[in-house]
Amino acid sequence: MMATETLSSEQVIALAKQYLIGNYTRYPVCLVRGSGSWVWDAEGNRYLDFFPGWGCGLIGHCPPRVVQAVQEQVATLIHVPNTWYTEPQVLLAKELGERTGFGGMAFFCNSGTEANEAAIKLARLNGKPKGKYKVVTLTGSFHGRTMGALTATAQPKYHAGVEPMLPGFNYATYGDLDAVAKAIDGETCAILLEPIQGEGGVNIPPPGFLEGIRELCDKHGLLMILDEVQTGMGRTGQWYAYQNWAIQPDIVTLAKALAGGVAMGGLVAKPEVAEKLKPGTHAATFGGNPIAARAALATIETIEQDGLLERARHIGAIFQHRFTALQQHCPIISAVRICGAMIGVELKIDGTPVVQECLRKGLLINCTQQTVLRLLPALNIIDEEIDEGCNILADVLQNLRSS
C-alpha cells in the first residue's frame, strides 16, 4: 500500500477502528491536503480552517518557505545527535534568544509537554541549593500530558485515573494574586503559567495579574516560567505574548507553531538560569534536529518578512468587530475574548453542536471547556476568508438561537 490518498474517508476510518488506539475524539473526515487556511478531504471536499493544526498552523498549511526549507534539508542531513553542532540549531537559538529581550539561551525538544518538563527540571535544578523544589501552577491551566506537565496542569479531569500525581506542585486560583501568594512556601522554586490560558478557555489575565506574579517571584526568589506553547511565535501580535505586558519571565517554553507545523519544542531561559542545565542533567535525542530547526527558521523568516505580527493584531481587531456586532443579535454569546489571532467566544450553551454544524458547512473551529469556541486562525488568512468563516459562524449561532 503506497499512496494513502487512494483510500476513501470511510475506508481510512474502518482501518483506524481496527488498528488505532481510540484515545482521540475524531470527526469522521480524513484530510489529505492543506494549503494556507484550507484543507481537503479524501473525497475532494474543501474546508476553511479557523483552527489549523490546533495552533501549530500559525502561518497556514504547507507554508511555502517551510516546505522549501524542509525539502532542502531532508536531502542534505536528516538527523544527527546533540553530540555534534549543526548550523540550523544555533541560528534558531540566536533568533529566539535575541527576541526575548533578556539574551535568552535555548534548549530544544519535540513537543510542548517536553518543553515544560525541561522547564520544571531547570527550575528544580536552580532551587536545589536552597532546598526549593515546589512549583505553583494555576486552575484552568494546560501544560501537557506527561506526568510532570500533567501534574502542573491544575484540572482534575486530566488527572482522573492516572493518580498519584507527582509531589511538589501547589495550585492557586487563576487571576487571584492573594491565592498565588498563599500557595508559595519556603520550598517553592517557581511559578508556572500561561500568559493567556488557551485550553482553559482563552482566559486573558486581569489587569496587574502578570505584573503581580513577577513581583511575587522577585520577592520570594522564584523563577517565573511562562508556558507560551500556544501563545508564542507571534500568535498574539508579539513574538512572545509576555511582550504585551511590561514583564519578562525567567524561562519561556515554546512548541506548537515553533516550526511552522513540524514537530518541535523548546525553552529559552535567562543565561544565569540556563547554566544549571549542565551535561547529564537533561537531553532529547531528536531535539533541535536540522529539519525542525530549518522549518523554525523559515517560520520566523515568514512572520518577519510578511509583517505577520502586525497582521495578527489586525486579525484580532477584525474578529473583535465581527463578534461584538454579532453579540448584539445573539444573546447566547456571553463573552468575547481576543488577543491578536487568539480568539475565544464564550457561549451560554454547549458549543459541541456549533462545531458540528460549522463542519457540515465547511468551517473548522474548536470548542474548549464545553462552552468556549476557540479560533486560532493562520496569521496569513486573508480578509475575504475571515469574512466567509465569520458568516458561516454567525449563521450557525443565529439559527441555534431560533431553534
Ligand X SMILES: *Cc1c(COP(=O)(O)O)cnc(C)c1O
14 versus 162: smaller Cβ distance to ligand X: 162
> Hey, is 377 helix, strand or coil?
coil
Give the span between the Cα atoms of 127 and 187, in whole angstroms: 8
Give the span between the Cα atoms of 125 and 130, in whole angstroms: 10
Minimum Å gap between C-beta 375 and ligand X is: 14
194 versus 346: smaller Cβ distance to ligand X: 194
* Strands 46-49 and 363-364, bridge-based pairing: parallel
What is the pattern of x (binds ligand X, CB under 6 A) and - over residues 160-199?
A: ----------------------------------x---xx
Strands laid side by side in the 251-254 sheet? 105-109, 265-269, 251-254, 223-227, 188-193, 134-138, 169-172
73 versus 113: smaller Cβ distance to ligand X: 113
> Judged by CB under 6 A, which of 61, 134, 143, 314 binds ligand X?
143
Q: Tell me which of 108, 132, 169, 256 is the catalytic residue.
A: 256
Q: Count the residues of the shown chain that bind ligand X, applying the rule CB under 6 A.
A: 15
Q: Tell me which of 41, 49, 227, 250 is the catalytic residue.
A: 227
How many Cα atoms occupy the beta-carbon half-sphere of 265 within 13 Å? 23
Give the span between the Cα atoms of 272 and 356, in whole angstroms: 49
Q: Pick out residues in 242-261 that bind ligand X (CB under 6 A).
A: 255-256
User: Residue 75's CB: how many other CB atoms inside 10 A?
Assistant: 8
User: Look-up: residue for cell 441555534?
Assistant: 400
Stretch that binds ligand X, among 38-46, 68-76, 85-93, 138-146 (CB under 6 A): 138-146
Minimum Å gap between C-beta 201 and ligand X is: 12
Please provide the distance, in angstroms rounded to a whole number, between the alpha carbons at the two ends of the chain: 47
144 versus 385: smaller Cβ distance to ligand X: 144
Q: Is 253 left (phi over 0), alpha (psi -120 to 50) or beta?
A: beta
Q: Pick out residues in 281-340 that bind ligand X (CB under 6 A).
A: none
Whether 319 sits among the annotated catalytic residues: the reply is: no
Whether 142 sits among the annotated catalytic residues: the reply is: yes
Minimum Å gap between C-beta 15 and ligand X is: 24
Whether 132 sits among the annotated catalytic residues: the reply is: no
Minimum Å gap between C-beta 376 and ligand X is: 10
39 versus 267: smaller Cβ distance to ligand X: 267
What share of residues in the chain are helix, strand, coil (percent, to 5)? 40, 20, 40
Minimum Å gap between C-beta 142 and ligand X is: 5
C-alpha cell at 344: 475565544
Q: Pick out residues in 212-231 that bind ligand X (CB under 6 A).
A: 227, 229-230
What is the pattern of x (binds ligand X, CB under 6 A) and - over residues 94-113?
A: -----------------xxx
Residue 144 is a binding residue for ligand X (CB under 6 A)? yes
Nearest to 121 by CA among 234, 317, 280, 335: 280
Tally of residues, the chain: 403
Binding residues (CB under 6 A) for ligand X: these are 111-113, 116, 142-144, 194, 198-199, 227, 229-230, 255-256
Catalytic residues: 142, 227, 256
